[in-house]
């Protein structure tokens, strides 16, 4: 690979990177301007959020069950099974919950957003909006970004809650009552962990859109 090819690749990379940040900047500015297109926001929230709810619930449930089972296997020889609730909580809420929920949403709707907007370009719907004087970024991009920024933390909260339920289902087979399971959670978590568990999916949602 000669210098000319490398130079061309680098120029293309930085050109695309520049376009990305320009689009991101325009989107953030237009998210704060009227009109807000509430109907489009509601439609996109339904597509991006509610359509991904079931798969996030399944992922959280079975991941929580597996995490609890693995934790109990390790804790039982030390008679420390009462800590399983805290171990499942800190693992899911701080780390796995945001990542798994984001992966499920990215696989579910990430390509769908690209396909939908691509189809609108091919069928000249975008050109028609421009002729009407509509701001394309404000009309098509901003509502999707706002919907994803709201949907991702909510989906993560649901996935985390279901994972704790799944963990208790397994823990109950080891004679752990709900009180013991719940009391183990504060011993492993602090308020900062909850904040991190909400900030991460918000950032992931921004990356997905």
**Six token digits for residue 144:** 């999707």
* Range from 11-25, 51-65, 178-192 that averages highest in pLDDT: 51-65
Q: Is the pLDDT of residue 150 over 80?
A: yes
**Of the candidates 155, 175, 154, the residue with the CA atom closest to the CA atom of residue 60:** 155
Q: Confirm if 120 and 140 have CB atoms less than 8 A apart.
A: yes
Write down the H helix ranges in the chain: 3-31, 38-48, 53-75, 84-91, 97-105, 111-122, 125-131, 136, 142-172, 178-183, 191-208
Tell me: the pLDDT tens digits for 107-116?
888 778 888 8
Tell me: the pLDDT tens digits for 78-99?
877 788 888 889 889 888 889 9
Q: Confirm if 45 and 142 have CB atoms less than 8 A apart.
A: no
Mean pLDDT (the chain, rounded): 86
> What does the alpha-carbon distance between residue 143 and residue 149 come to, in Å, rounded to a whole number?
10
CA 9, 15, 19 angle in degrees (round to 5)?
145
* Range from 87-96, 122-131, 158-167 that averages highest in pLDDT: 158-167
**Of the candidates 111, 209, 193, the residue with the CA atom closest to the CA atom of residue 151:** 209
- Residue 161: pLDDT band with limits 50, 70, 90: very high
Q: Is the pLDDT of residue 191 over 70?
A: yes
Q: What is the mean pLDDT of the segment spanning 133-153?
A: 86
């Amino acid at each position: 690979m000669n210098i000319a090819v490398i130079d061309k690749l680098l120029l293309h990379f930085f050109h695309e990177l520049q376009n990305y940040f320009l689009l991101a900047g325009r989107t953030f500015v237009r998210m704060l301007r009227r009109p807000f297109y509430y109907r489009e926001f509601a439609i996109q929230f339904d597509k991006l959020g509610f359509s991904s709810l079931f798969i996030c619930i399944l992922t959280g449930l079975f991941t929580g069950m597996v995490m609890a089972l693995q934790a109990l296997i390790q804790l039982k020889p030390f008679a420390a099974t009462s800590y399983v609730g805290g171990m499942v909580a800190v693992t899911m809420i701080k780390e796995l919950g945001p990542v798994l929920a984001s992966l499920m949403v990215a696989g579910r709707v990430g390509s769908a957003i690209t396909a939908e907007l691509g189809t609108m370009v091919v069928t000249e719907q975008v050109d028609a909006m421009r002729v009407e004087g509509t701001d394309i970024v404000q009309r098509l991009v901003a509502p999707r970004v706002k919907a994803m920024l709201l949907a991702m933390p909510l989906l993560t909260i649901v996935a985390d809650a279901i994972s704790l339920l799944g963990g208790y289902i397994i823990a109950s087979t080891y004679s752990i009552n709900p009180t013991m399971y719940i009391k183990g959670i504060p011993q492993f978590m602090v308020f900062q962990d909850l904040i991190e568990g909400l900030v991460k999916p918000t950032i992931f949602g921004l990356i997905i859109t």
